[in-house]
Amino acid sequence: MENSTKKGMFWSFPVSHFSYFFIWAIVSGYLTLWLEQVANLNGSEAGIVFSMMAAMSLAFQPLFGFFSDRLVMKKTLVFIILGVGVLIGPYFEWLFMPLLAATNPFVIAVITGIYLSFVLNGGVSVIEQYIQR
């Protein structure tokens, strides 16, 4: 029984690692096209999204590092990041598009940059740290 528990623990690492980087690759690969072709943002508005992702990741990484050190091998923060990552599609469909029509595109670009930074740029350190432990 203990051997099967260790085997299950082993497979949780590559599955979580693969899932996270799969989400990151899909979002990063198609986000610019989607923002310009579907959401009809111009280049500067799409650039604000990516700028906010970079800027906010500088704030999220130290916070995530602090919480990761406190949680050690608990998967709470990993599951939060993966769960929020799974909700990227619904965010863009159900929140981003309606809010874009109702408010200033720059405000929505800033909010989207913060959201994606939480999942992608800031979350990478949590996933990597969990895999290394």
Tens-place pLDDT, residues 43-84: 888 888 888 888 887 887 777 777 766 766 667 777 887 788
Position 96 pLDDT exceeds 80: yes
Comparing 131 with 106, the larger pLDDT belongs to 106
Contacts of residue 81, defined as CB under 8 A and 6 or more positions apart, other chains included, come to 20, 118, 119, 123, 126, 127
What's the pTM value of the predicted model, to 2 decimals?
A: 0.74
Mean of the per-residue pLDDT values for the chain? 79
Tell me the CB-side half-sphere exposure of residue 18, using CA atoms within 13 A. Answer: 5
Question: Which pLDDT value is given to residue 1?
Answer: 47
> b/e map of 60-97 (b: 16 or more CB within 10 Å)?
bbeebeeebeeeeeeeebbebbbebbeebeebbeeebe
The answer to whether residue 36 scores a pLDDT higher than 80 is yes
Does pLDDT of 6 surpass 70?
A: no
Q: 20: buried, middle or exposed (CB in 10 Å: 19+, 13-18, 0-12)?
A: buried
Angle between the N-to-C axes of helices 123-132 and 76-86, in degrees from 0 to 180, rounded to the nearest 10: 130
For 2-132, the fitting CATH number among 1.10.540.10, 1.20.120.450, 1.20.1250.20, 3.40.980.10 is 1.20.1250.20
Average pLDDT (76-98) is: 85
CB count in 10 Å sphere of residue 1: 4
The whole-number pLDDT of residue 12 equals 66
- pLDDT (0 to 100) of residue 133: 63
